[in-house]
């Protein structure tokens, strides 16, 4: 059984202008011990997808349709009380964007890390302290951090604490939404190395949400590229990075600066569409240099171009991609 199976998920925000189709018919699977990177421009629906996976979509959003199977249980159909009791932090935990700035300033690191152990597992303070010391070591900190307050820590140290929090109840899946955005490049690299160590040590599934493809290039086993609420390319890291087939993925990769390459950096002209009224057919067609008539009329299906590598583009359908 897969650790995570998402089937035809739709998550919309109901606004006065109409429904914003932030996640629109998304399907994916993740196995235990695998790392999935989800990338795309801001506003493509990747954070909404992550929130859906822990059953927490901020209002006016909600899951409209589809299934999210975690260990065989459909969390899209669970109520808030069941999600809190059975799923969040125990099965799936999330490192929210900017979470390191949300540490409670008046509590010590020990108090903040002990709470879930005391509340969810019934640990005594002493038992919790032992567990926290082990976890601090796992994220590269020592027990001198127990009595410190968040303002006494650097950005990198705070992010290590946030990672420790996400691991405290030993979940099967950790979702990290832009976990290195606010950090300088050196600390970014340290934190990504820490994630690699955590993956090896705990053999958990991880999902990284990012607008920066270079962040996931080294760590992800699989990569999903999102555009305007849909997955438009999905495959192993090698397939997506070395053999990108969708014009949007190709454009994203060409926009990453490469020190040793003589190729000029380019960019994708235009802006992502309004998800209240997305373009008909292929949602990328107003920005695509290869757009054809069919692209303006019909939505391209996600087709398999090689084992495990899927692309939603009419160019692929013309080359004989399989459903």
Q: By CB under 6 A, tell whether 252 contacts ligand SF4.
A: no
- Report in angstroms how near the CB of residue 233 gets to ligand SF4 at its nearest: 10
Looking only at residues 39 through 58 of this chain, which bind ligand SF4 when binding is defined by CB under 6 A?
A: none
In 128-246, beta strands by DSSP E: 173-177, 205-210, 222-227, 230-236
CA atoms within 13 A on the CB side of 195: 31
Question: Are 183 and 156 spatial neighbours (Cβ–Cβ below 8 Å)?
Answer: yes
- Report in angstroms how near the CB of residue 299 gets to ligand SF4 at its nearest: 9
Select from 54, 139, 282, 303 the one that contacts ligand SF4 (CB under 6 A): 282
Q: By CB under 6 A, tell whether 89 contacts ligand SF4.
A: no
CA 156 to chain centre: 20
Looking only at residues 284 through 303 of this chain, which bind ligand SF4 when binding is defined by CB under 6 A?
A: 284-285, 288, 290-292, 295, 300
- Report in angstroms how near the CB of residue 281 gets to ligand SF4 at its nearest: 7
Closer Cβ to ligand SF4, 160 or 283, answer by number: 283
Indicate the DSSP class of residue 190: H
| # residues near ligand SF4 by CB under 6 A | 14
Non-local (6+) Cβ contacts of 107 within 8 A are 149
Q: In what order do the strands lie in the sheet with 92-95?
A: 92-95, 173-177, 205-210, 35-39, 222-227, 230-236, 309-312, 302-306
Q: By CB under 6 A, tell whether 315 contacts ligand SF4.
A: yes
**Residue 237 structure tokens:** 């890291």
Question: Are 148 and 108 spatial neighbours (Cβ–Cβ below 8 Å)?
Answer: yes
Beta-bridge partners for 128 = none
- Report in angstroms how near the CB of residue 49 gets to ligand SF4 at its nearest: 20
Select from 43, 45, 156, 247 the one that contacts ligand SF4 (CB under 6 A): 247
Applying CB under 6 A, the residues found at the interface with ligand SF4 are 246-247, 282, 284-285, 288, 290-292, 295, 300, 313-315
């Amino acid at each position: 059984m897969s650790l995570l199976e998402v089937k035809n998920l739709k998550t919309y925000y109901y606004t006065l202008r109409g429904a914003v189709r932030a996640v629109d018919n998304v399907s994916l699977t993740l196995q235990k011990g695998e790392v999935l990177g989800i990338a795309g421009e801001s506003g493509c629906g990747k954070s909404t997808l992550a929130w859906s996976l822990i059953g927490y979509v901020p209002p006016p959003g909600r899951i409209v349709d589809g299934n999210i199977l975690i260990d065989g249980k459909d969390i899209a159909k669970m109520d808030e009380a069941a999600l809190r009791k059975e799923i969040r932090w125990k099965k799936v935990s999330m490192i929210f964007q900017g979470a390191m700035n949300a540490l409670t300033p008046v509590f010590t690191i020990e108090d903040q890390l002990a709470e879930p152990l005391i509340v969810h597992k019934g640990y005594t303070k002493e038992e919790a302290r032992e567990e926290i010391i082990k976890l601090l070591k796992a994220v590269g900190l020592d027990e001198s951090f127990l009595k410190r307050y968040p303002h006494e820590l650097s950005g990198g140290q705070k992010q290590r604490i946030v990672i420790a929090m996400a691991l405290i109840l030993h979940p099967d899946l950790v979702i990290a939404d832009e976990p290195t955005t606010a950090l300088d490049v050196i600390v970014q690299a340290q934190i990504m190395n820490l994630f690699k160590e955590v993956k090896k040590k705990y053999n958990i599934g991880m999902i990284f949400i990012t607008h920066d493809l270079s962040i996931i290039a080294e760590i992800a086993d699989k990569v999903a590229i999102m555009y305007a609420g849909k997955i438009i390319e999905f495959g192993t890291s090698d397939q997506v990075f070395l053999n990108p087939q969708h014009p949007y993925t190709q454009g994203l990769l060409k926009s990453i600066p490469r020190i040793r390459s003589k190729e000029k950096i380019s960019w994708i002209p235009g802006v992502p569409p309004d998800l209240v009224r997305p373009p008909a057919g292929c949602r990328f067609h107003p920005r695509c240099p290869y757009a054809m008539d069919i692209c303006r009329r019909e939505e391209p299906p996600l087709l398999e171009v090689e084992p495990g590598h899927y692309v939603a583009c009419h160019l692929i359908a013309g080359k004989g991609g399989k459903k």
